[in-house]
Structure 1
């Protein structure tokens, strides 16, 4: 995983770039602040202004380590461009990804270090997390909605740092997935997202800088998926808990 520009400058939602390479319907940019997706999170989208008009960036694909931006038109671009990231979509994804970290922390603490087996974070304001919880009571999981929203209400700082891969692997709880972990950066480090006083774990997604920036979360459904997995579905509400 590279050091994404969206990690280093999360408020950079408009930027200029030049075309490095192009083909009909896709473009490789000299720089990009879009998050390409991954780890269950869908990618950013954006509006792209070029010499002949406008186009939409509707997806990002990784090919041989390069990030191709997929367009909603078959045009082949060249020259200088201006890109405007879809800010409401980014905000929705950042709120949900931060909420899944809170949920993950609460499950990890209250269910004997249960690990994540899957996740999906969607631009429609909904997300799901799957946990390795064969013996858990569903009502006990539902009861975490209150504590999750209490963490939002506390407006805890959220920050990111990088640690060496070996240190991350040797620190219990930093890597929470049962089967996969975020790939290291080219310099051999792992990005760690920390919620002040609550949690820290490896992650390459987009997040808030304070839990109080999130809307409230509603737990919509808990499902049994196979013999071991419990799937917890959540969604953003319209309620702001911090004023």
Structure 2
């Protein structure tokens, strides 16, 4: 099992860890990982590991068995041995863009309150697929509503409920194709806004910004037809 440091603090950029295992494919497992593993439409983090006399670029991060997080080197080269103390350094600019786009997609599901059939995030753009037979008539109005929510600078926070509580409240789940991260006995909920100002609450295992204003302005790209009932809405950061 790897302790997910990104869950404790999504803004942590550097941390020490100990190598606990190496995979047959050349991946590295640490006792605690700064790197977010691919999941929920969000890409795995990249960055680097360093230790006495060694430096290893990390191309991506994936999930392994038994809650292990596997760091995937960018190219074959000598790996730190099991037991080695290493320093993890995150590609922060890339991660932060993932955080901004991921949070913006939560807001997109607020301004388009329809079931979500898919989604994906990159450092350049994000998209959600909706169960939406007809495309929105006014794309600019959609962008304006989204930017209005961003400019309200609402706090983004998390809480936890049990698997059973989530099963008893299926309305919390907006995604039809991606199941909430269940199985450990509890599920993480991400809230945007607080109290009477709360505008969104849904299960999510990804990383997000602390306040919506940190997203910055966005623009809506193409709205594509993806089947009889599906429309794909693309969004981009303005910077």
Q: TM-score, normalised by structure 2?
A: 0.90
Q: Which residue does 2:31 correspond to in 1?
A: 30
Distance in 2 separating the partners of 1:185 and 1:218: 36
Query: Whole-Å Cα distance in 2 between the matches of residues 38 and 14 of structure 1?
Result: 21
Contact kept? 1:103, 1:148, Cα under 8 Å: yes
CA displacement 1:167-198 (0-9 Å, x = unmatched): 22332531111133222252x11111000021
* Structure 1 counterpart of 2:178: 180
Residue 50 of structure 1, CA deviation: 2.1
Kindly indicate whether the alpha-carbon contact (under 8 Å) linking 1:142 and 1:222 is maintained by their aligned counterparts in 2.
Answer: no
Give 2:160's aligned residue: 162
Shift of 1:46: 1.3
Q: Distance in 2 between matches of 1:12 and 1:194?
A: 21
What's 1:5 paired with?
A: 5
Note the C-alpha offset of 1:228. Answer: 0.7
Query: In structure 2, what is the equivalent of residue 80 of structure 1?
Result: 85
Q: Name stretches of at least 5 consecutive residues in structure 2 with no aligned partner.
A: none
Q: How does 1:59-138 map to 2 (within 5 A)?
A: 59-65=60-66, 66-74=68-76, 75-78=78-81, 79-108=84-113, 114-123=114-123, 125-134=124-133, 136-138=134-136
Question: Residues 18 and 2 (structure 1 numbering): CA distance in 2 closer, same or farther, change over 3 Å?
Answer: closer
Whole-Å separation in 2 of the counterparts to 1:225 and 1:3: 38
8 Å contact 1:25–1:72 — kept in the other structure? no
Q: Deviations over 1:14-51 (max 9, x none)?
A: 00111111257421112112110211110111111122
CA distance in 2, matches of 1:2, 1:84: 17
Q: 1:111 matched to which residue of 2? A: none
**5+ residue gaps in structure 1?**
109-113, 239-243
Q: Say if 1:40 and 1:118 are closer, same or farther in 2 by CA, change over 3 A.
A: same
Tell me the CA shift for residue 61 of structure 1: 2.6
Q: Secondary structure of the equivalent of 2:171?
A: coil
Is the 1:157–1:211 Cα contact (8 Å) retained in structure 2? yes
**CA RMSD, Structure 1 to Structure 2 (Å):** 1.9
CA offset digits 1:108-127 (Å, max 9, x no partner): 1xxxxx2110001002x201
* Paired residues of 2:2 and 2:29 also in contact (CA < 8 A): no
Ranges of 4+ aligned residues in structure 1 off by more than 6 Å? none
Name the CA distance, whole Å, in 2 between partners of 1:163 and 1:140. Answer: 37
